Amino acid sequence: MRIQSRKITLPLCLCLISVLFAPVLTQAGTAIVLAASDTGSIAAGQAADQKARLAKKAAERQKAAEAKKAAEAQKEKTVVK
């Protein structure tokens, strides 16, 4: 009987230990998922900021090009007169 109880004791202890650690592992998984979702929102915010900066820079370039064209047109008018 002693040998049989030892065979049962080891699997029983392993099951008990796994049941005790299961909530810890679940909470750690949740923390990792939450951290990953925060990182995703930060990355999305950074991407939006970068897109806004690029749009602003493109608008500035377009205004500069229009101003240059207007200056050239004005210069041509003064040369023609």
Give how many domains the chain has, as a whole number: 1
pLDDT at 58 over 70: yes
pTM of the model: 0.45
Q: Which residue range is the domain that position 37 belongs to?
A: 1-81
- Give the tokens for residue 5: 């109880």
Quote the pLDDT of residue 54.
94
Average pLDDT over residues 43-67: 91
